Structure 1
């Protein structure tokens, strides 16, 4: 059962690049918040985005939008960090570790110095590692630091499966888990279409090794590379994914979404952020769902966790 909505529903976005501005635009269109503050090192950019968004207010939902500084975080319900260096063509998300870890330590320290006592939502890549950096620097309880994790990968997975089988993507239930990146994995054993297990729906004996299914997953895993090659960056999909998470938090939905959170024994994995299905509400991560994985999936998840743990140790050092 959900509780009453937060009275303020104030969100502060750190970074008004492609992702931050796409997220802000989606928030305006969907009427999720009633106060939105844009923060950027380039104050003119933040001012310009705020003015442009405000001019669309008659076509959207009533809300307060303005540019501001870190002081605006003091009474924010949610701070969403999209700032950082972008992923260049040919560069993996993990290649961004050293550059963005330094940026994040400064950003999070500045936010916490305001007395911020809300929730963090991290979108900057590598999101799993930077979520861990945010947790360590902020000193907040683990449930109040959420990474966007594999929410977009899961959406891509559901979309491509729906396209292949010609069904509404909202009737496809499937998860991508692990790193938001090259070591992520599809949980084939839990894919369902309209409640029917994929193996039975598609009459495939070995889904995990089926060529067509493998091709679908490869297109999910490599989607960002394909988009970056063609247009330089990805931002619409993740912008809408962040709005979905914002709704789950501010509307206290207790929704199950694949986010990056700290594992402490779940799936036999400790002290690493990675994408898993979890229940999210106004207090943050209420509960991590432990799916019953098959042996292959468990091994791949552990491998993904080990890769992230190594990179996280470098970022935190």
Structure 2
């Protein structure tokens, strides 16, 4: 028999709880380990998820871990969703001190207990938190994956789809850089059916000749349209994290925009940020660089500098 697929979730706020629910609905985890510093919150979420088992594809063992982080060591994947979304009302940098302090409270405890799986981190600012986990633990950076611009790329697909009437699933385009307001759309490399959007805009201007700057800004700020009426984002970001989990658990070798350690791409190194990555059972297998315009390359470097500026604010670094 195959070994049980174990996924742990740290932080059961809006996003963490939806990650758990999406994992159940997709039948991805055999065992689900729930972790939060709020004891009643974990108890309540565990009860609600257990009551859902009648309606999901497969039975899943639901384990209340509380704040006993060492019990996550046997997991194949740990999803870090620990944060305080109210602090992100203005921008994702608002959670900077909260989420990095949270990472300091559990990262070494998990790794020192023998964890050898994949970190999937959603907590914002995503790139800083991923860099923090790596910095604290000296863990294999290929096994630390930030959800990063995976969600922003989906938002870009959605906005392009609205303009040209093509299914979002048929659009190959990426937001790259920081998962925040400094991210950029890699327009020069964007294609549909292998045909550059720039060529399609020339051939079919009424359909594809949309304002790229407008679409990019809609993708960049889409999360805050959601936040305005709900006080949080939850469905799409949770599903973006679960998409990464699926790529790992099924060893898909899927290409997704994700935050990973820069090792010289475009001259950047030492920080996590988003580029298209091949993701499989061992984490990040390859990192692709795209053909960027001069303006896009400049934007990417500025985005990386913003991440460094945030890191510089952490007194303990």
In 1: Cα distance, 2:23 partner to 2:89 partner: 31
Instruction: Report which stretch shifted further, 191-200 or 150-159.
Output: 191-200
Unmatched runs of 5 consecutive residues or more in structure 2: none
Unmatched runs of 5 consecutive residues or more in structure 1: none
Q: Which has the higher contact order (CA 8 A, sep 6+)?
A: 1
Q: Please tell me whether the aligned partners of residues 88 and 94 of structure 2 are also in contact (alpha carbons under 8 angstroms).
A: no
Question: TM-score if structure 1 supplies the norm length?
Answer: 0.93
Q: Please tell me whether the aligned partners of residues 89 and 225 of structure 1 are also in contact (alpha carbons under 8 angstroms).
A: no
In 1: Cα distance, 2:204 partner to 2:216 partner: 17
CA-CA distance at 1:6 after TM superposition:
6.8
CA-CA distance at 1:313 after TM superposition:
3.1
Q: Please tell me whether the aligned partners of residues 263 and 270 of structure 1 are also in contact (alpha carbons under 8 angstroms).
A: yes
For the residue of structure 2 that corresponds to 1:272, the secondary structure is strand
Large movers: runs of 4+ above 3 Å: 87-90
The aligned runs of 1:98-177 (5 Å cut-off) are 98-177=97-176
Q: Please tell me whether the aligned partners of residues 199 and 205 of structure 1 are also in contact (alpha carbons under 8 angstroms).
A: no
Q: Please tell me whether the aligned partners of residues 88 and 95 of structure 2 are also in contact (alpha carbons under 8 angstroms).
A: no
Question: TM-score if structure 2 supplies the norm length?
Answer: 0.93
In 1: Cα distance, 2:32 partner to 2:216 partner: 36
In 2: Cα distance, 1:219 partner to 1:294 partner: 20
In 1: Cα distance, 2:64 partner to 2:28 partner: 18
CA-CA distance at 1:211 after TM superposition:
6.5
In 2: Cα distance, 1:307 partner to 1:194 partner: 34
CA-CA distance at 1:204 after TM superposition:
7.6
Matched, 1:83 2:82: yes
What per-residue deviation string (whole Å, max 9, x for no partner) do you get for residues 117-168 of structure 1?
2111110000000000011112211101111110000000011111211111
Instruction: Report which stretch shifted further, 53-62 or 272-281.
Output: 53-62
Partner of 1:97 in structure 2? 96
In 2: Cα distance, 1:75 partner to 1:100 partner: 23
